Homo-oligomer: A and B are copies of this chain.
Amino acid sequence: MGIILKNTILKGSRTDIRIDKGLFTEVSPHIEETEEDAVIDAEDNIIIPSLKNGHTHSAMTLLRGWGDDMKLKPWLEEKIWPMEAEIIRDPEASYWGTRFACLEMVKSGTTFANDMYFNLPQNIRAFRESGMKAALGTALFDFFDTEKTTEMKALCEKEFKTFEQNSMMQYTVAPHSVYTVSKELLSWAGDFSKAHNLPVHIHLCETREEVDKSFSSFGKSPVAYLKDLGLLSPHLIAAHTVWLSDDDIQMLADYGVTVVHNPVSNMKLSVGNVFPFDKMKTLHIPIMLGTDGAASNNNLDMFEEMKFAALLQKHHTGNPELMKAKEIFAIASGSESSIFPHISGEIKPGNHADCLLLNPDHSGLNPDHNTLSNIVYAAGSSCIDTVISGGAILMRHGKIDGEERIRTGFRKAVKKLFS
| Chain A interfacial positions (CB closer than 8 Å to B) | 61-66, 68-72, 75, 100, 103-104, 107, 264, 266-270, 272, 294, 297-299, 301, 304, 307-308, 311-312, 314-315, 317-321, 323-325, 361, 363-364, 366-370, 373-374, 377-382, 404, 407, 410-411, 414, 418
Contacts and interface: CB of A to CB of B under 8 A. Distances in A.
A414 B321 CA distance: 26
Contact of A311 (B66, B267, B314, B361): B267
Contacts of A100: 363, 366
A103 B361 CA distance: 12
B324 A69 contact: yes
A73 to B, nearest CB: 11
Given A65-B367, A269-B314, 12 more contacts: A61-B366, A64-B364, A64-B367, A64-B374, A65-B368, A107-B363, A268-B320, A270-B319, A299-B364, A308-B308, A308-B311, A366-B410
Contacts of A374: 64-65, 298
Contacts of A298: 364, 373-374, 377-378
B70 A367 contact: no
Contacts of A407: 361, 366
A263 to B, nearest CB: 9
B65 A268 contact: no
Contacts of A378: 64-65, 294, 297-299
A327 B180 CA distance: 35
27 contacts: A61-B366, A61-B367, A64-B364, A64-B367, A65-B368, A65-B377, A69-B320, A69-B324, A69-B373, A72-B320, A100-B363, A107-B363, A267-B311, A268-B311, A268-B320, A268-B377, A270-B318, A270-B319, A294-B378, A297-B378, A298-B377, A299-B364, A299-B379, A304-B307, A308-B311, A361-B407, A382-B382
A68 B328 CA distance: 13
Contact of A381 (B311, B361, B370, B382): B382
Question: How many copies of this protein are present in the complex?
Answer: 2
Contacts of A321: 69-71
B373 A68 contact: yes
A157 B295 CA distance: 54
Given A314-B267, A377-B65, A70 B320 contact: yes
Which residue among A264, A381, A382, A414 has the maximum number of chain B CB atoms within 10 Å of its CB?
A382
A65 B266 contact: no
Given A314-B267, A366-B407, A377 B320 contact: no
Considering the complex of A and B, which 8 residue pairs feature the smallest CB-CB distances, nearest first? A298-B377, A267-B315, A267-B311, A298-B378, A65-B373, A65-B370, A104-B363, A382-B382
Nearest to A323: B69
Nearest to A368: B65
Contacts of A68: 324-325, 370, 373, 377
A63 B373 CA distance: 12
A313 to B, nearest CB: 9
A381 B362 CA distance: 13
A66 B320 contact: no
A229 to B, nearest CB: 31
Contacts of A63: 369
Contacts of A69: 320-321, 323-325, 373
A165 B126 CA distance: 57
Contacts of A325: 68-69
A404 to B, nearest CB: 8
Nearest to A413: B367
Contacts of A301: 380
A294 B324 CA distance: 17
Contacts of A368: 65
